[in-house]
Structure 1
Amino acid sequence: MYPLRLLTAAIAVALAPASALAQREALSCPPPAQLRIPERPPESLRGSTDIQAETFSAERGRLVTFRDGVRLVQDGQQLETDELIYDTATGRVDIPGWMRYSGPQLNVDAGSARYDTRGRAGRFETVGYTIPGTTGRGSAASVEMFDPEHARLQTFDFTTCPPEQPDWQLQASRVDMDLEEGVGTARNARLTFKGVPLLYTPWLTFPLDDRRKTGFLYPGFGYSADDGVDISVPWYWNIAPNQDATLTGRWIEKRGAMLGLEHRFLTPRQSGELEIEWLPDDRRADRGRYFGEFDYHARLAQDWAAGASLKRASDDDYFVDLGGDLHASSIPFLRSAASLRGSGRYWALALEADVFQVLDESVGPSREPYRRLPRTTLTIDRPLPGRLRFSLDSELVYFDREQGTTGGRVDLFPRVHYDYVAPGWHLRPSLGVRSTAYQLDGADESSPTRTMPVATVDAGLAFERALDGDRIQTLEPRLYYLYVPYRDQDALPDFDTRELTFGFSQLFHYNRFSGPDRHGDANQLTAALTSRLLDAGDGYSRFEMSVGQIFHFTDLRVQLDDQPRERRDQSATVAEMTWRPARQVALNAGLQYDLESDETQVARFGLNWGGDDGQQVALGYRFRQDRVDQADVRFRYPVNENLNLIGRVTYSFQENETLEVLGGVEYDSCCWSLRFTAREWVSDRESDKRTAFFVELVLKGLGSVGRAPYRLFADQARY
């Protein structure tokens, strides 16, 4: 059976791309090829060969012949034929008629075969093959084995289409296989689609196994109204077993030629990735442009690691002009950072430094983010005797900027917790002291300090009851008390502190500000209630709803930017809900309503639905008072078993403007898909819009040609 194993490897040119094929066939498509191997032999028979035949004859010292219903089985492989002749003198095996081979990776049918067991060479004529579990299939006029590691296929082809309608085919007049090196060489290779040649090359090489290989990857192309035709051709360079690179030549019609580089390396202790984009002469901007990013990670010891993330762009408008979507074009700054981190059972230590490149023109020098050179943090979380636990959050950092106050800050926040958790209820009080000190330059007071106690009590109950239909309903009330006395903090600078966005999680936080520069005074009680509807069998959550509110016993005096104290008895009411009436439907909503001002501060709504036939719809709405008022609709609608419509619309009610419109058509057959997509989106803060067109041809089991804008749904291909 050794030549059959070599035959299997020799046709790996088709097996490599098709083995990863896992597609849902349309109703008219043929099923994947079946696994034809026999039952696994007992372990005791491993390595033995079992031959069955209706008739058997042997000449003394010469030929052994098996005829009629010949079946040869060895190690889970099977050979079937009508006649098999073995010459004991020369070691030659002849199969003058048809042959059918079945293996775990390949099914092969041949018109005839011969094999020299001593020279370990042979030839198979009129070969056809299928790949079990996939629709990959093909043929070769002949397969010649020169030795166990080298073979040649004549007049080779491969496709995943039905045999009666091969819409696309990969063909070659000759394919030479070097199994030792894992490289195949094709002569006169061509790729055709619907009879139209897509690719022709007189010579190309390709990998035969998982070993990476240098060569060109599939190109991408698109079109935009601003930049014209956009074509990119990537070239992959297998530098070493632990590093590689991809060089991408890109031509943008109205801007010029662009070069991209992605280099990756990996060692037992280090890894890194370098990405560079360089446009030496942007004709539209009349300047050279670039973007670079380098990510590096190193494991210095068992519990110590170092890392760096460095980013830089040539100008503020780089992502506006060359970014792919609204998110990229709205990046306000690029952060570069380096760190050294260590951790133990109860502690974690980090030494960091970061700087920022501001891309948003509206951010002036006095509002730029501070450079932290350096920042050291130490956290401790250690159990104490009984139910007690000690925690410490600490930070030492120096802030630097061209304008404004600069200086160092040290912040210490030790706490003692008492954790009592029992079935159906919990009680967690804690008491801590927060102390913050500064050493400043350019401030009225050079060494301000602040010290205050922080006390919390977190208590909750959990009730549940059984309902009809094998379901469980829970009722979970929770109270959270927070006390922080007032301390005058007007003399403290504002390096990295902002007021946290109010939401349900903020109901149970010990500070309404991010960063240590401000710690809000508080004498408040949070009351919240959560209820869930669960399937008793697997715990699947059908319905969840939470509502909560903070009751203030004193005014909120600590504010940012000299804002007046906030006089109110209660916070806005926060409610969240998730409902899954069926496995393919999910509805979620959130509301933040201020009873005192009778205003809706935050609202959100989302509906996701997926049908059994591939239909998908997602509706979304977001509202934040005086900031965001947007709706988003996405859909994928199958017109029939082959044709799908896709689309997306994002609209801002605040600006009374459509932020993005995407529409496309996808034709999906058994073995190929073709997508046409058009997209218009807002590219900058001045509401300038860009229009682009994308075409992508997917040859299933082989690859794709073209480009798609982005992933419309998480479980679907990129659109």
Structure 2
Amino acid sequence: MTRIFAIVVVSGLLWTASLPAVTPVDRPDWCEPPHAVADEGARESVSEAQIRAGAYSAPSDEPVRFSDGVRLKQFDQLLETESLSFDPDSRLVDIPVWLRYTDSLIQIEAARAYYDATDGTGRFDEVIYRLVGHDGSGHADSVAMVEPGQARLERFAFTTCDPDQPDWQLRAARVELALAEGVGTARHARLEFRGVPMMYLPYMSFPLNDERKSGFLYPRIGFSGGDGLDLSVPWYWNIAPNQDATLTPRWIQRRGVMLDSEYRFLTASQRGQADLEILPDDRRAGLTRYFGQFDYRARLAPGWNARADLRRASDDDYFIDLGNDLVESSVQFLRSSVALSGRGSGWRLDLGADDFQLLDDSVAAERAPYRRLPRIQFQAGRPMAHGLEWLVDSELVHFDRDVGVTGTRLDVRPVLRYRWLTPGSFVQPELALRTTHYRLDGDHRRNPDRTLPIASLDAGLFFERPAGSDRIQTLEPRLYYLYVPYRDQADLPDFDTRELTFGFSQLFHHNRFTGADRQGDANQLALALSSRLIEASDGRSLLEGHVGQIVHFSDRRVQLPGREKEQGSRSSTLAETVWRPAEALAVSAGLQWDSLNNETEVARVGLTYRGQDARQAALGYRMRRDQVDQADVRFRYPVNERLKLIGRLLYSFEDNEPLEILGGVEYESCCWALRLTARDYVRDRDGDRRTSVFMELELRGLASLGRAPYELFRDHP
């Protein structure tokens, strides 16, 4: 809308003012005498301007007149009319009849027009306009330049629909434009949809260019079975060129009035964003609710950066009650962290601290995350000669918590590595020494420690052969041997260590635990085989498969507290495959099979389809023994060119109930779209459900009213 206002005035009126000043005695050299143009027209140019007319006259003491098919052209701008006059004394350009103006941006038709080059005023009457290359069009009773840089439009209308039968229109009784300041104002503006008024504003302002401007944004509307109507009206505040804020009053029918705020700033060396949501009196919960976060990044000097990410909520149930989906409501804790990092040639240093707010009351206090105040990490590495290099990975951190063991841990792992590479093979032996020291607080042992070597050998081959005229098949065997001697670590605390989820990448990792509190003992050989079918022309993978397993030569005795040693001569077998039979279709599958117990530990299957006619589908199944057993089906199906059906079913076979059911319709015309969605989903771990209804009306080229629950295919590109 705002662009239209500026284009109508700037492209139309201002260009009309560029007509050259002619005099009765100086006949313009860009136009032939009348007798020469009466039959075939005339054209010459000065300053890249051209005029053609069937008739031309310049009598003394009278305006210069052009008539009979007047065409005035300059660059890509063209003015067509049947009569145009220019008075050199008053400097008035007058077009008393129908005219048509076009350029690369807009087409304008008007009943009449004039322009006074002396004071810069002018006017179009009964204007009809249409954007070139866009769907925007409309009309105005008049478009007037009341003074240089100031314009006024009377009874203005804009739409992106068929101008003869517009489904929606934005109307205003009067629009005033300050072109130099880039600001416009509208009086008595109203939005109509299918003839029904949807919004009325006695006064509104808007920018005429890409510059930001303070003002209200369009409202968002939702409904849920538990909270009732949910209405938000954002207000944008353009504080400075590098700062802005958005304040959003939000009314939740059964809870009360809430305020969401967002503040952003950006400088050459800093950027940040602060968000605060506050519900002063939640009528359902009987308390004040809030959530705040602050994200900050700064470049302090070459190679040195600082960051902060602070988050805090008023209570444990904030995201359960006010979150939008199951992902938010299942958050167990909020992490706040600050850090200073520097890097140079072959080294990196990170100084940081983090804290955690526990939100899940099912997590016992002795299992809550530790505060790390501070945490210092240092990595360094240097190449030596002939593929030999050394590196060191170290960490010093103090762990603090209200319950349980606390203290400081120093972990250092120097590594010596050799890399031998050829076009079809690689060999990488590696030798490390890991030493970890503790200083514990309280009545615990003061200085437990652990030191052990880590040796590994990673090697692989790469074969390829033609597979048809334009395809290549590869075969990629890989071996990874790891040896770590056993050290009794039962007296070491467990600050931040967990057992890694077994997956394909873990076949080639030096530790089966995260963190430094446990270093797993190992005497094992990982065997993996990959194969790919590749398009030779563009390198696109059509089919790929991976299979791997670890052969253990001894039991795994190092475990976390409460776990017994692992036995067995081999790990579960891992298999993964991805098949892309067409550009629109991809099929993937993964399997973790325990051959010793003859059972499936992990399985997943996925299919994604994206057709050219807006058809989309995603089918997924994932299973982890005794934990997860879920199917996820999503689709978007066009019934016809305008109507689409959408849906999702997320079903848990473990719980024997759907975790989410979503269904809706999307209707799209050439200039607007309506999306109506109903959603029923589990909102917390106790199985409480929430039912919501969302409606979004998109007026193309203008704005969207309401909101959708989420993007259905955001994780299925």
Instruction: Work out whether residues 63 and 85 of structure 2, in 8 Å CA contact, stay in contact via their aligned partners in 1.
Output: yes
In 2, Cα distance between equivalents of 1:605 and 1:182: 55
Is 2:113 the partner of 1:98? no
Partner of 1:107: 107
- Residue equivalent to 2:452: 452
Question: Quick one: structure 1 residues 47 and 389, their matched pair in 2 at CA, closer, same or farther if it must change by over 3 Å?
Answer: farther
Structure 1 122/530 Cα, relative in aligned 2: closer, same or farther at 3 Å? same
Q: For 1:606 and 1:227, how far apart are their aligned partners in 2?
A: 35
Identity over the aligned pairs, expressed in percent? 58
Inter-CA distance 607–7: structure 2 relative to 1 (3 Å threshold): closer
| Corresponding position of 1:668 | 668
Q: Take 1:172 and 1:469, find their aligned partners in 2: how far apart are those partners?
A: 65
Q: Partners in 1 of 2:103 and 2:388 — Cα distance? A: 63
Aligned residue in 1 for 2:417: 417
Give the letter for the 1:281 counterpart: D
What is the DSSP-based 3-state SS (H/G/I as helix, E as strand, rest coil) of the residue aligned with 1:82? Answer: strand
Is this contact kept in 1: 2:105–2:133, CA < 8 A? no
Q: Which runs of 4+ in 1 moved over 4 A?
A: 4-7, 9-12
CA distance in structure 2 between the aligned counterparts of 1:75 and 1:373, rounded to whole angstroms: 67
Query: 2:313, 2:494 → 1: CA distance?
Result: 28
Rounded to whole Å, the distance in 1 between the matches of 2:648 and 2:469 is: 38
Give the equivalent residue in structure 2 for 1:643. 643
1-structure distance, mates of 2:715, 2:441:
53
Which residues in structure 2 correspond to 1:274-423 (within 5 Å)?
274-423=274-423
Does the aligned pair in 2 maintain the 1:440–1:447 contact within 8 Å?
yes
Could you tell me how far 1:10 is from its partner in structure 2?
Answer: 5.7
Counterpart position of 2:544: 544
Letter matched to residue 156 of structure 2: F
Match of 1:30 in 2: none
CA 1:606 to 1:184, structure 2 compared with 1: closer, same or farther past 3 Å?
Answer: same
Gaps of 5+ in 1: 13-44
2:272 maps to 272
Does 2:600 align with 1:617?
A: no
How far did 1:562 drift? 4.3
Tell me the residue number matched to 1:244: 244
8 A contact 2:533–2:544 mirrored in 1? yes
**Secondary structure of 2:363's partner?**
coil
Which one-letter code corresponds to 2:257 in the other structure? A
Q: Secondary structure at the match of 1:324?
A: coil
Aligned to 1:117: 117
- Write the mapping of 1:14-29 to structure 2, written as runs, cut at 5 A: none
Decide whether aligned partners of structure 1 residues 46 and 565 sit closer, same or farther in structure 2, where only a CA change above 3 A counts. farther
User: Does the CA contact (< 8 Å) of 1:6 and 1:148 recur in 2?
Assistant: no
1:496-535 equivalences in 2 (<5 Å): 496-535=496-535
Scaled by the length of structure 1, the TM-score of the pair is 0.92
2:475 paired residue number = 475
One-letter amino acid of the counterpart of residue 520, structure 2: G
Match of 1:180 in 2: 180
Residues 418 and 428, structure 2, Cα contact 8 Å, conserved in 1: yes
Whether 1:231 aligns to 2:231 is yes
Aligned twin of 1:24: none
Contact 1:227 1:253 (C-alpha < 8 Å) held by counterparts: yes
Deviation digits for residues 616-647 of structure 1 (CA, Å, limit 9, x no counterpart) = 11101111111111111111111111111111
- 1:76/1:382 Cα in 2 relative to 1: closer, same or farther (>3 Å)? farther
CA contact (8 A) 1:350 1:376 kept: yes
Deviation sequence 1:526-545 (CA, Å, 0-9, x none): 11111111111111111111
CA contact (8 A) 1:46 1:75 kept: no
Amino acid at match of 2:259: L
- Give the drift of 1:61: 6.8
CA-CA distance at 1:668 after TM superposition? 1.0
Residue pair 1:94, 1:113 contacting (<8 A) in 2 also: yes
Contact 1:405 1:443 (8 Å CA) reproduced = no
Q: Is the 8 A contact 1:256 1:283 kept in 2?
A: yes
CA distance in 1 between counterparts of 2:238 and 2:527 reads 60
RMSD: 2.0
Q: In the alignment, which residue of structure 1 is the partner of 2:630?
A: 630
> Are the aligned partners of 2:5 and 2:208 in contact in 1 as well (CA < 8 Å)?
no
Q: Secondary structure at the match of 1:506?
A: helix
- Partner letter of residue 658 of structure 1? P
| Inter-partner Cα distance in structure 1 for 2:359 and 2:165 | 54
CA apart distance, 1:469: 4.8
CA distance in 1, matches of 2:535, 2:78: 48
Q: Is the contact between residue 216 and residue 235 of structure 2 (CA under 8 Å) also seen in structure 1?
A: yes
How far apart are 1:716 and its partner, in Å? 10
Counterpart residue type for residue 523 of structure 2:
N
Tell whether the 8 Å contact from 2:405 to 2:444 is kept in structure 1 after alignment.
Answer: no
Q: Equivalents in 2 of 1:525, 1:315: separation in Å? A: 49
**Which residue is equivalent to 1:130?**
130
5+ residue gaps, structure 2, are 13-44
Between the aligned partners of 2:146 and 2:116, the Cα distance in structure 1 is: 10
Equivalence for 1:209 = 209
SS at match of 1:321: helix
The alignment status of 1:64 with 2:73, answered yes or no, reads no
Partner-residue secondary structure (3-state), 2:315: coil
TM-score relative to the length of structure 2: 0.92
Secondary structure, in 3 states, of the residue corresponding to 1:499?
coil
Change (3 A) 1:604 1:174: same
The count of residues paired between Structure 1 and Structure 2 equals 682
Q: Secondary structure at the match of 1:514?
A: coil
Residues 279-298 of structure 1: per-residue CA shift (max 9 Å, x gap): 11111111111111111112
Change (3 A) 1:431 1:161: same
Matching residue of 1:261:
261
* Contact 2:5 2:177 (8 Å CA) reproduced: no
Q: 1:461 to 1:282 in 2, by over 3 A?
A: same
Instruction: Give, in angstroms, the shift of residue 468 of structure 1.
Output: 2.1
d(CA) in 1 for partners of 2:701 and 2:209?
A: 15
Structure-2 change in CA distance of 1:372 and 1:529 (3 Å): same
Query: Aligned AA for 2:471?
Result: R
Q: Deviations over 1:259-289 (max 9, x none)?
A: 1111111222222211111111111111111
TM-aligned CA distance change 1:715 to 1:402, over 3 Å: closer
Q: Distance in 1 between matches of 2:299 and 2:209?
A: 31
1:498 match: secondary structure: coil
Question: What is residue 702 of structure 1 aligned with on the other side?
Answer: 702
Look up the equivalent residue of 2:477 and give its one-letter code.
Answer: P
**Aligned partners of 1:420 and 1:76: how far apart in 2?**
64
Q: Is the 8 A contact 2:635 2:647 kept in 1?
A: yes
Partner residue in 2 for 1:657: 657
Give the superposition deviation at 1:479: 1.1
Residue 519 (structure 1) shift: 0.8
Q: Deviations over 1:452-507 (max 9, x none)?
A: 11122111111111222511111111111111111111111110000000001111
Residue 487 of structure 2 corresponds to residue 487 of structure 1: yes
Q: Deviations over 1:559-597 (max 9, x none)?
A: 111422211111111011111111000111100001111
Which is worse superposed, 205-214 or 506-515? 205-214
Question: Separation in 2 of the partners of 1:258 and 1:93?
Answer: 57
Per the TM alignment, residue 331 of structure 1 is displaced from its structure 2 partner at its CA by: 0.3
Q: Say which SS state the counterpart of residue 166 (structure 2) adopts.
A: coil
1:620–1:9 Cα change, 3 Å: farther
Please identify the structure whose Cα radius of gyration is greater: 2
Output one character per residue of 1:506-561: Cα deviation in whole Å (capped at 9) or x when no partner: 11111110001111111111111111111111111111111111111111111111
Contact 1:8 1:105 in 2 (8 A): no
3-state SS, counterpart of residue 319 of structure 1: helix
Q: 1:266 to 1:245 in 2, by over 3 A?
A: same
CA contact (8 A) 2:649 2:662 kept: yes
Question: Which protein has greater RCO, CA pairs closer than 8 Å, 6+ apart?
Answer: 1
